[in-house]
A and B are shown apart, each in its own frame.
Chain A
């Protein structure tokens, strides 16, 4: 039985399923094909529909992978630009969403390899002079809606998980994000990560263990 994500989550909450192992239909799995065909034919509207459908999860994946909002924005841009260029070579062996995640992960890996730690020299004004009264007024701080943790008013656990995700290796982080957050099954994981299904299972187990051990340090 295919369930929409919201229905699946509600069902999991209702029955108290510990891991929410409800098969969730990936968003857009049924509706991507026509837009992919249109986009491959050069129709920009078709490509824009794909972007609109998947941009948020690509951005969120990149944000969790890179732990930097601006980097995540650029990674999402690069991902869709690469998708646009590579669409003619998309053979449809995996779903478009899986293929998209594979490209997004490659973009994130490249950015991590290039050195995310490079210093970003930016100047953020904290106050400015009011044009009418001439008084110096404080500018509002960053939009809290753009900070996932702040926006959701999440618990300490979420902050701890976010911190732990940054401490484990990128290889473990990406498989946790794709499996636990995005709900990809083993076949899709294998396609997105470019490794056999057996490797996916063992890597996922090691990633969960790493996350569990790391969490013990940040969330006693």
Chain B
């Protein structure tokens, strides 16, 4: 055995206590010394395992771990808050986005009122209800609320004109409130129309002052224009002063149009739950034309699904499509266009 081979085997961890290695160590003083040093080093290294540690080590480590745990919890809390903010912002945008769409509360109103009830109701009540429905969704700011009031008033005024009604629950055309004669009622209506037009002009100016970057949009999308469009007159434009109608979109620059349509298609995907509507089994049966046997269970959750192409469907709690009278449903919803998505129907007593 050579010295190189001896040292190689020494480095490989061979104890060298027997055989030719032991013979070589006995004959070679240098290798014998290297063997002795290696044993001493190995013993010293083993003894290093017993080295002491600072007495405060445990407390310091645990304090560090606990602090890290708390910091992580705080980070999660912030992340959750940020996520909730984003969800709220997206939800708000979905509810307030532009377009002649049916406000969720209006939809709820339609589904929670039996057919024919409106004809027996006081027109004043209908106006108030519509104003509340529109204002409830489209009134994040005082200006928007004013526009909402104006729109509701304009709609209520239109409901009083024969042949213009487009809403299923509108009152009987031109029927005067109790205690008023027909002539007095007509005079009051004309007065209200004039006031509405005045308020429309004022609202347009107010919108311009709020959203100076989009002055044309606020002008174009007034309730007066909607009044002639044979559509449910939701708030003109939207409360944020952004583009509202298809004609507005056509006038936008191409990139803006593309971005808008992309945002709308993304936000209004059929899987998106737009809002929850509280209703009763009887009203659902009445509005959807369901056989009584198919009435939804109390405390159940059904879903009204509006496809991108506008097709309507109702799904039960197990997400099965419920056979329904499509014509009746369409009639119940009127000539309005619901944004695509899912509307949760909370069935109450």
Q: A residues near B, CB below 8 A?
A: 5, 9, 12, 17-21, 47-48, 51-52, 55-57, 59-60, 63-64, 69, 73, 76-78, 80-81, 84-85, 145-146, 148, 151-152, 154-155, 157-158, 161, 176, 180-183, 201, 204-206, 208-209, 211-212, 215, 219
Q: How far apart are A206's CB and chain B's nearest CB, in angstroms? A: 8
B34 at the interface (CB under 8 A from A): yes
A182 & B49 in contact (Cβ 8 Å cutoff): yes
A5 & B58 in contact (Cβ 8 Å cutoff): no
Partner pick for A212 among B12, B37, B65, CB 8 A cutoff: B37
0/1 string, B38-63, CB within 8 A of A gives 1: 11111111111111111001101110
**A161, B65: Cα distance in complex, Å:** 33
- Pick the interface stretch among B13-21, B214-222, B321-329, B338-346: B13-21
A20 & B68 in contact (Cβ 8 Å cutoff): no
B77 at the interface (CB under 8 A from A): no
- Which of A55, A155, A219 has most B Cβ within 10 Å? A55
Nearest neighbor of B42 in chain A, beta-carbon distance = A19
**A84, B61: Cα distance in complex, Å:** 11
**A84, B37: Cα distance in complex, Å:** 41
B51 & A152 in contact (Cβ 8 Å cutoff): yes
B58 & A51 in contact (Cβ 8 Å cutoff): yes
B337 at the interface (CB under 8 A from A): no
Q: How far apart are A99's CB and chain B's nearest CB, in angstroms? A: 17
A84 & B68 in contact (Cβ 8 Å cutoff): yes
A211 & B64 in contact (Cβ 8 Å cutoff): no
Contact A205 B11, CB 8 Å, known A18-B38, A84-B69, A148-B48: yes
Q: How far apart are B200's CB and chain A's nearest CB, in angstroms? A: 61
Nearest neighbor of B43 in chain A, beta-carbon distance = A20
B117 at the interface (CB under 8 A from A): no
B49 & A181 in contact (Cβ 8 Å cutoff): yes
A52 & B52 in contact (Cβ 8 Å cutoff): no
Q: How far apart are A103's CB and chain B's nearest CB, in angstroms? A: 13
B11 & A209 in contact (Cβ 8 Å cutoff): yes
B320 at the interface (CB under 8 A from A): no
Contact A80 B57, CB 8 Å, known A148-B52, A158-B44: no
Contact A18 B39, CB 8 Å, known A57-B49, A176-B45: yes
B8 at the interface (CB under 8 A from A): yes
- Which of B38, B43, B45, B50 has most A Cβ within 10 Å? B45
B8 & A181 in contact (Cβ 8 Å cutoff): no
**A161, B62: Cα distance in complex, Å:** 32
User: What's the count of A-B pairs with C-beta under 8 Å?
Assistant: 128
Q: Give every chain B residue within 8 A of A176 (Cβ-Cβ).
A: 45
Contact A181 B60, CB 8 Å, known A81-B68, A161-B41, A212-B38: no
B16 & A18 in contact (Cβ 8 Å cutoff): yes
**A51, B40: Cα distance in complex, Å:** 32
A18 & B15 in contact (Cβ 8 Å cutoff): yes
Q: Give every chain A residue within 8 A of B45 (Cβ-Cβ).
A: 161, 176, 180-181
Q: B residues near A, CB below 8 A?
A: 7-8, 10-13, 15-17, 34-35, 37-54, 57-58, 60-62, 64-65, 68-69, 72
> Can you list 25 pairs linking A and B with CB atoms under 8 Å apart?
A18-B15, A18-B38, A19-B39, A20-B43, A48-B62, A51-B65, A55-B53, A55-B58, A59-B53, A59-B54, A59-B57, A60-B51, A60-B53, A64-B48, A73-B57, A73-B60, A76-B57, A76-B61, A77-B60, A77-B61, A80-B61, A180-B46, A201-B12, A208-B12, A212-B37
**A161, B7: Cα distance in complex, Å:** 19
A205 & B57 in contact (Cβ 8 Å cutoff): no
Q: How far apart are A188's CB and chain B's nearest CB, in angstroms? A: 15
**A76, B63: Cα distance in complex, Å:** 12
Q: Give every chain B residue within 8 A of A60 (Cβ-Cβ).
A: 48-49, 51, 53
A73 & B54 in contact (Cβ 8 Å cutoff): yes
Nearest neighbor of A59 in chain B, beta-carbon distance = B53
Q: Give every chain A residue within 8 A of B15 (Cβ-Cβ).
A: 17-19, 21
B44 & A84 in contact (Cβ 8 Å cutoff): no
**A52, B35: Cα distance in complex, Å:** 38
Q: Give every chain B residue within 8 A of A211 (Cβ-Cβ).
A: 41
Q: Give every chain A residue within 8 A of B62 (Cβ-Cβ).
A: 48, 51
Q: Give every chain A residue within 8 A of B50 (Cβ-Cβ).
A: 152
Q: Give every chain B residue within 8 A of A180 (Cβ-Cβ).
A: 42, 45-46
**A60, B51: Cα distance in complex, Å:** 7
A146 & B52 in contact (Cβ 8 Å cutoff): yes
The 4 closest A-B pairs by CB, nearest first: A77-B64, A180-B45, A148-B51, A208-B11
**A20, B54: Cα distance in complex, Å:** 28
Partner pick for B57 among A21, A47, A55, CB 8 A cutoff: A55
Q: Give every chain B residue within 8 A of A201 (Cβ-Cβ).
A: 12
Q: Give every chain A residue within 8 A of B17 (Cβ-Cβ).
A: 18
Contact A181 B46, CB 8 Å, known A18-B16, A59-B53, A77-B64: yes
B64 & A56 in contact (Cβ 8 Å cutoff): no
